[in-house]
Structure 1
Amino acid sequence: MLNFDEQRFLRIQAGAVALRQRLETVIAGCLDAGAENIFFLGTGGAAILMQPAAQLLQRRSRFPAFIDMPAELVITGSAHLTHRSIVVMPSLSGTTKESVALLEKLKAIGATVLTLVGNEDTPLGQGGDHVFVNAAADDTSSESFYLQSLFIALAILHHRGEIANHDDIVAGLDRMPELLLEVKRAYEPKAEAFAKVLAGSDYHIITGAGNVWPEAFYYGMCILEEMQWIRTRPVHASDFFHGTLELVEKDVSVILFKGEDELRPLAERVASFVPQYTDRLTVLDTAAFALPGLSAEVRALVSPVVLATVLERISAHLEVMRNHPLTTRRYYKRVAY
């Protein structure tokens, strides 16, 4: 595979999986101690990666789950954010400015803070009540964060008796590192063709629904815009028909992500409409990938993880094709803002 270290990938994703039991123990302790809600408070891309877990809780649990922006909460606070709140703060660098600023406020409130970081020797790595370290990097962090946040959501559902088959689900998730590697290997021959689609336009509408919508948002904003300077319009498949559809015309590129949860029909609606007006619809569908041994339920849960791992292969080809390394920035962490 192009510019890819298989053993490094396996080590990092196995590191995420290895955090599961401790995450479950910490969450159980928080709930037993009287926790009343959970906040997922990341910044930027790390925040987006928390959305599938937050959504899972909002739709499957009576335990209140919130997702908000640290930059806003530092200013406004929240009536729901109290000493009985669990706060999950992901930050690969452990130094994210907005999250570090909120950390001080959370300490004053008395909330229980779980930090998910790539480096322990950082403000967030040192500042959490419970620190979870997995030394990932930009090209491997998406799968790691998706898995860790999913373990947290499942731990809450399990502890509250709101999920019947927890053990079977996590047994499947424990196999994800090897399964994801096989997905990468299988997709590698196709990755260059998808990269050519992305390189072939300076503007893409990018859409999805359900738990893969955050990956559409993330890939458009954090990879294509930040790392490749390609303009995108990320829009939820449900909102696509309330404005963005008017931008679809000949030669407009539409990128559609399809997952396997119950909201897949929203993506199918886009897939039916777009080809009538442009021949530049490109679909990435998790149902096309073999995940032997995983139930339909687990496949649905891990759809965003699978997309992330495939998109990394596409990005590897895209940066070479465009002679634009994914690490190149003009402003991000380079100038004052």
Structure 2
Amino acid sequence: MTIKEIVTEVKAKYPEINNVYFVGCGASQSDLYTAKYFLVRNAKRLRTDLITANEFNFDPPSDLGEKSIVITCSLGGTTPETVAASKMAREKGAPVICLTNAPESPLAQNADYPIIHGFHESYSAKMQKLTKCLQLAAEILEQYEGYEDYEDMMKGVEKIYGVIDAAIPYAKPLAEKFARENKDERVIYVMGSGPSQQVAYTFSSFILMEMQWVDSASFSAGEFFHGPFELVEKGKPFMLLMNDGNTRPMDVRALEFLNRFDAKVTVVDAKDYGLGNEIPASVKDYFNPILLDGVLRVYGEAIAEARKHPLTQRRYMWKLNY
């Protein structure tokens, strides 16, 4: 079934929906953030939240039920907490839509509607999860409330993979420069704003901390001046993700401050990769994190190579029961 067909069927069975819950763990939870951000800023009636899976399991929303849509996500479809969340949501009477790369996985088997996305085929395929989730959110909004920029959103969905693929050759030398300059750093801070804030969290938490064992923290460019900016000093490494959209002034302000005190700044800017040339202006904001996350995959590979520390290397994951 297409995403449009899935939502059409859900609406036929559940004509009155009050809330949409996005549920996952780790990077998969982060991948749901853009869709949640979109709904918060565009829905006039639908309520929405993004909840980590075990919090959803142990402390579920009181209104979870037949007037909820629950969207769960796990790349391999085996994350125990997310599978349990899907089961519990269905038991409460909510329709469950999942996103996964594995059609035969436990997550797919415990959802009413699995959406299968690519991952391994290309850099743009790695962004199918984010893109399909955003498309799903837009479809839910269109069918339950109406969405005036729906056609523009569908054009963006069509074009974003080509934007990512075109960006990769330009990103590689910049990623290699970042890796050379930061391979021996003990801490790297990552900052973003608006819809891309969670991409900063993803790179910090999962590429740097999980996959590279590099101390890191992430924060919103808007919150930077309410605490974290006290850490800025000459030569301290920061990565700044810059949007081509509404929250760009926050990114520019942060960059000016970092440069003022001669921090070691790596800028990854959606404008450098022509996002606004391809994606309609009315929906451009929501495609920033998809483009930036796709580009950052190259940065992750580059620093792993420079540090001689494969992205698959772990201390605890896959080795211990915890």
| Range moving further from structure 2, 105-114 or 275-284 | 275-284
Matched residue of 1:67: which SS?
A: strand
- Give the CA RMSD over aligned residues: 1.9
Mapped partners of 2:292, 2:212: distance in 1: 18
Aligned to 1:304: 289
Residues 292-330 of structure 1: CA deviation (Å, up to 9, x unaligned):
433233432211111111111122222211111111111
Report the alpha carbon displacement of residue 197 of structure 1 after superposing the two structures with TM.
3.3
User: Which runs of 5 or more structure 2 residues have no equivalent in the other structure?
Assistant: none
The one-letter amino acid paired with 2:4 is E
Whether the aligned pair in 1 keeps the contact of 2:77 and 2:107 (CA below 8 Å) is yes
Whether the aligned pair in 2 keeps the contact of 1:117 and 1:131 (CA below 8 Å) is yes
Task: State percent identity of aligned pairs.
Answer: 26
Mapping for residues 235-274 of structure 1, pairs under 5 Å: 235-274=219-258
Aligned to 2:11: 31
How many residue pairs get aligned? The number is 317
| Range moving further from structure 2, 159-168 or 227-236 | 159-168
Report the alpha carbon displacement of residue 156 of structure 1 after superposing the two structures with TM.
2.2
Mapping for residues 112-261 of structure 1, pairs under 5 Å: 112-137=95-120, 140=123, 142-261=126-245
1:313 aligns with 2:293: no
Aligned to 1:6: none
1:81 aligns with 2:64: yes
Whether the aligned pair in 1 keeps the contact of 2:21 and 2:50 (CA below 8 Å) is yes
Report the alpha carbon displacement of residue 289 of structure 1 after superposing the two structures with TM.
0.8
| Range moving further from structure 2, 203-212 or 182-191 | 182-191
User: Which runs of 5 or more structure 1 residues have no equivalent in the other structure?
Assistant: 1-20
Report the alpha carbon displacement of residue 285 of structure 1 after superposing the two structures with TM.
0.7
Whether the aligned pair in 2 keeps the contact of 1:92 and 1:137 (CA below 8 Å) is no
Residues 264-315 of structure 1: CA deviation (Å, up to 9, x unaligned):
1111121121222233122111011124433233432211111111111122
Whether the aligned pair in 2 keeps the contact of 1:211 and 1:261 (CA below 8 Å) is no
CA 1:218 to 1:85, structure 2 compared with 1: closer, same or farther past 3 Å?
A: same
CA 1:228 to 1:138, structure 2 compared with 1: closer, same or farther past 3 Å?
A: farther
Please give the TM-score of this superposition, normalised by the length of structure 1: 0.88
Select the residue among 27, 31, 50 that pairs with 1:49: 31
